[in-house]
Each structure stands twice: as structure tokens, then as C-alpha cells.
């Protein structure tokens, strides 16, 4: 039976190849998921020195537990869930807070705000420079949010995951994900308006 190249293999084929001893297939698992894993670790963990060890721990867990993956979600979503839980365990061990309980009070309404954060890019050098400056301002403001809010903003607006996928990764209900995203964007807007004049943004 011909083995498909790992780059074009489905999740099921890729997992089967890894479990069959194909090390290149596991390299493809890493390549397909490293962007998501990196974003989760960077948004949840503030200490740069701890991030590489956590990434290594994530992929060791993925390799060790791959036989138990039941394909109830995409492989990348499952790897994201392993990453999120690994980071949670780290934070608990360090007695660090993912989200202040005062921030967890639900709002009555949550707006959708579909993919509104990343600035548009332009071929015009002056506009591109402005977009770069704006992206820097926005990135710095996002870093001021609580770790959970930073993480949800990253998953939704940068990784472009659905509410359902984010809920699977974080084990939060869909409604809670939407509510926390609303609160995160609200805090982000308040931070930006407090620090910069409207005409500067």
C-alpha cells in the first residue's frame, strides 16, 4: 500500500503514520500546529525563559497520548487543548492567575465583533508604515490584558478559530467564550482610549 506524503496526509492518515513509527509524520504534526502552540504559550506565559520548555512538554504529551486521540475534533484543536492545559498546570504550579475572578462576571450582552482587530495592509509605503505602527500599539495594548483574554483574542483574531474550536481548546462553553471575547475587546478599547487620543489611533 502506497504511503501518502506527510504534507498531504489527512489527520487520520498522519496519526496512523506516526503510530506506525514514521518520525517524519510527527514532524509534520509539529509543523502544522506550531503556530497555534506558540501563540497559546506566548499569550498565557509571560516568562520567556519558560516557553521553550513548555513547548517541548506539549509535544512530548502529544506524542505520548496520540494513540488516545479519538478524532472528535481536528488534530490541531486537540494539540491546542493539550497546550492550553499544560499552560494552565504551569500557572497553577506558579500560583499565577489566568483571569481575576472580578473579570469573570458575565455581561448581559456580547457583541460579535467578527475579526475586527488586525489592521488592513496596504501596498502604499506610508500607509503600510502607519499600519505597522498601529499594529505595534495594538499589540502592546493586548499584552496588558489578563492572560485568558490575551489568549482568546489571539485564537479568534489571529489564529481565526471558531467559537466552537476555542471552546474545545479551553473547555469553556461557547457562550462564555463569546462573553469573554466581548469583555476583552471592551478592556482593549478602554485601554487604548485612555492612553491615546482618538486622532492618534
What is the per-residue pLDDT across 142-166, written as a single tens digit (0 to 9) for each? 888 889 999 999 999 889 999 999 9
* In a domain? residue 1: no
Q: Measured between alpha carbons, how far is 199 from 201 in angstroms, rounded to an integer? A: 6
Closest to 39 in 3D by CA, of 79, 89, 6: 79
Q: Which CATH number characterizes residue 65's domain? A: 1.10.1740.10
Which pLDDT band, with edges at 50, 70 and 90, does 140 fall under?
Answer: confident
* Residue 75 confidence (pLDDT): 96
Last residue of a domain, one of 93, 125, 152: 93
Q: What is the pLDDT of residues 22-81, one digit of tens each?
A: 999 999 999 999 999 999 999 999 899 999 999 999 999 999 999 999 998 999 999 999
What are the DSSP calls for 83-146, one per residue?
HHHHHHHHHHHTT--SS-GGGGPPPS-----TT--SPPP-SSHHHHHHHHHHHHHHHHHHTTS-
- The verdict on 136 and 65 lying in the same domain is no
Range of the domain at 159: 103-200
* In a domain? residue 162: yes
Number of domains in the chain: 2
Burial 125-149 (b: 16+ CB within 10 A, else e): eeeeeebeeeeebbeebbeebbbbb
- The verdict on 110 and 88 lying in the same domain is no
- The verdict on 166 and 185 lying in the same domain is yes
* Residue 24 confidence (pLDDT): 92
Last residue of a domain, one of 59, 93, 127: 93
Amino acid at each position: 500500500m502506497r504511503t501518502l506524503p506527510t504534507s498531504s496526509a489527512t489527520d487520520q492518515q498522519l496519526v496512523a503514520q506516526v503510530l506506525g513509527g514514521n518520525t517524519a509524520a510527527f514532524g509534520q504534526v509539529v509543523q502544522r500546529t506550531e503556530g497555534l502552540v506558540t501563540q497559546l504559550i506566548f499569550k498565557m506565559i509571560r516568562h520567556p525563559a519558560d516557553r521553550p520548555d513548555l513547548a517541548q512538554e506539549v509535544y512530548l504529551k502529544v506524542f505520548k497520548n496520540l494513540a488516545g486521540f479519538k478524532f472528535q475534533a481536528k488534530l490541531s484543536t486537540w494539540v491546542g487543548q493539550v497546550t492550553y492545559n499544560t499552560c494552565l498546570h504551569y500557572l497553577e504550579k506558579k500560583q499565577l492567575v489566568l483571569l481575576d475572578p472580578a473579570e469573570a462576571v458575565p455581561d448581559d450582552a456580547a457583541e460579535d465583533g467578527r475579526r475586527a482587530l488586525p489592521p488592513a495592509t496596504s501596498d502604499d509605503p506610508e500607509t503600510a508604515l502607519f499600519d505597522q505602527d498601529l499594529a505595534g500599539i495594538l499589540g502592546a495594548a493586548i499584552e496588558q490584558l489578563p492572560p485568558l483574554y490575551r489568549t482568546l483574542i489571539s485564537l479568534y483574531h489571529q489564529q481565526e478559530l471558531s467559537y466552537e474550536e476555542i471552546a474545545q481548546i479551553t473547555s469553556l462553553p461557547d457562550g462564555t467564550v463569546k462573553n469573554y471575547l466581548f469583555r476583552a475587546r471592551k478592556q482593549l478599547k478602554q485601554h487604548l482610549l485612555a492612553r491615546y487620543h482618538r486622532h492618534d489611533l
